[in-house]
Amino acid sequence: MFERILLAITETQDAAQATETVAGLAQAFSAEVTVYHARERVVAAGGMEEYESIPQAYEYAESVASSLAGSGVQANPVFESVRPDELAGRVLAQADAISADLIVLGSHHAQGLREVVFGDIGRALAHRARCPVLVMPSASSTAGG
């Protein structure tokens, strides 16, 4: 059913639940996983705002892929720098590039004003993806927060 899974993680927090879920799915379906990590950057008149460096983003994608590999899952890391308003399109492009059968969006946090300005990534993926999309809640929302 699922031969290629795209795990899209845009934030470096709460990835454990998404990784565990993807590992289980990949093992059940003998699927290959592509770990897509977007290093978000915002360019404004006052400069560029980045939450992590290029080496940090690469290391993060590698660590999630290594975690999956430790579970016996074939996983390939991919990372790139993305403006927040391009994020949904970049995730969809990556899903198309690997012919994904499932997109798992990890660490989905409500961002308040950010979502008003740039849109909700989960909603955008659900409406535009060519395959099923699984949106994982953040750890804080599963703990009742």
Instruction: Supply the mean pLDDT for the chain.
Output: 83
- Report the pLDDT value the prediction gives residue 83, as an integer from 0 to 100: 78
**Total residues found in the chain within this entry:** 145
pLDDT of residue 38: 87
Comparing 139 with 120, the larger pLDDT belongs to: 120
Q: Any idea what the CATH number is for the domain that residue 90 is in?
A: 3.40.50.620
DSSP type of residue 99: T
Q: Does a structural domain hold residue 62? A: yes
CA distance 71 to 125: 27
In a domain, 136, yes or no: no
Q: pTM for the complete prediction?
A: 0.84
Q: Is 13 left (phi over 0), alpha (psi -120 to 50) or beta?
A: beta
Q: Report yes or no on 125 lying in a domain.
A: no
Range of the domain at 105: 4-112
pLDDT-based confidence at residue 75 (cuts at 50, 70, 90): very high
Each residue's pLDDT tens digit, 82-115:
877 888 999 999 999 999 999 999 865 555 544 5
Number of domains making up the chain: 1
Q: Tell me the per-residue pLDDT of 46-70, one tens digit each, with 9 for 90 and over.
A: 666 667 888 888 999 999 999 999 9
Distances (CA, A) of 51 to 6, 13, 63, 75, 118: 23, 12, 18, 25, 17
122, part of any domain: no
pLDDT value of residue 87: 87
Higher pLDDT among residues 144 and 138, named by residue: 138
Least confident of 8-12, 34-38, 102-106, 137-141: 137-141
124 within a domain of the structure (yes/no) = no
Is 54 among the domain residues? yes
Residue 131 lies in a domain: no
The per-residue pLDDT for range 16-43, each reduced to its tens digit, is 888 999 999 999 999 999 999 988 766 6
CA dihedral 88, 93, 98, 101 (to 10 degrees): 50
β-bridge mates for residue 48, sequence order: 43
In 3D, which of 81, 68, 70 has the Cα closest to residue 33? 68
46 in a domain, yes or no?
A: yes
